[in-house]
Structure 1
Amino acid sequence: MKPVRTLIAIATLAAFGAGAAQAATLAEIQKAGVFRVGTEGTYPPFTYHDASGNLTGFDVDIARAIAAKLGVKVEFLEGRWDGLIAGIDADRYDAVINEVGITDARKKKYDFSEPYIASKAALIVRSDDDTIKSFADLKGKTAAQSLSSNFGQIAKDNGADLIGTDGFAQSIALVIQHRADATVNDSLSYLDFKKHKPNAPVKLVATLPNADYSGVIIAKNQPKLLAAINTALDEMKADGTYLKISQKYFGEDVSK
Structure 2
Amino acid sequence: MKTTGIGTFYLFIAGILLNVLFYQSQLFAQNPYLGRYADTVKIGSELNYPPFCMVDEDGEAIGFSVDLFKASAKEVNLKINIKVAQWNVLKEDLAEGHLDALPLVGRSIERDSLFDFTFPYYTMHGAIFVRSDFNEFLTEEDLQGREIGVMEGDNAHDFLIKKGCVNIKTAPTFREVFENLSKGKYDAVVAQKLMGIELLEKLHIENVKPLPFMLKGFNQDFGFAVKNGNS
Fold equivalence (TM over 0.5): yes
Give the counterpart of 1:58 among 64, 74, 82: 64
Query: 2-side partners of 1:98 and 1:191: how far apart?
Result: 21
Q: Which amino acid aligns with 1:143?
A: E
Matched, 1:145 2:155: no
Query: 1-side partners of 2:47 and 2:97: how far apart?
Result: 18
Match of 1:100, SS state, is: strand
Give the counterpart of 2:178 among 172, 175, 183: 172
Q: How many residues align?
A: 186
Q: Residues 150, 55 of structure 1: CA spacing in aligned structure 2 closer, same or farther, 3 A cutoff?
A: closer
Query: 1-side partners of 2:151 and 2:205: how far apart?
Result: 28
Match of 2:68, SS state, is: helix
Query: 1-side partners of 2:185 and 2:225: how far apart?
Result: 40
Q: Give the equivalent residue in structure 2 for 1:216.
A: 224
Can you list the C-alpha shifts for 1:147-187, whole angstroms capped at 9, x where unaligned? 98335436754xxx837453544543444344543232343
Question: TM-score, structure 2 length as denominator?
Answer: 0.57
Structure 1 residue 146 displacement after superposition? 5.3
Match of 1:216, SS state, is: strand
Please, which runs of 5 or more residues in structure 1 have no aligned partner?
1-21, 223-256
Give the counterpart of 1:122 among 127, 146, 154: 127
Q: Give the equivalent residue in structure 2 for 1:203.
A: 209
Q: Give the equivalent residue in structure 1 for 2:48.
A: 44
Please, which runs of 5 or more residues in structure 2 have no aligned partner?
1-31
Question: TM-score, structure 1 length as denominator?
Answer: 0.53
Q: Residues 155, 131 of structure 1: CA spacing in aligned structure 2 closer, same or farther, 3 A cutoff?
A: farther
Matches within 5 A, 1:11-160: 23=33, 34=39, 36-45=40-49, 46-47=52-53, 49-68=55-74, 70=75, 72=77, 74-78=79-83, 81=90, 82-87=92-97, 93=100, 96-104=101-109, 107=112, 111-138=116-143, 142-145=146-149, 149-150=157-158, 152-153=160-161, 157=165
Structure 1 contact 174–180 (Cα < 8 Å) conserved = yes
Q: Give the equivalent residue in structure 1 for 2:4.
A: none
Structure 2 contact 44–102 (Cα < 8 Å) conserved = no
Match of 1:213, SS state, is: strand
Q: Which amino acid aligns with 2:93?
A: G
Percent identity over the alignment is 22
Can you list the C-alpha shifts for 1:38-68, whole angstroms capped at 9, x where unaligned? 3224533354542224332332111123235
Structure 2 contact 148–169 (Cα < 8 Å) conserved = yes
Structure 1 residue 132 displacement after superposition? 1.9
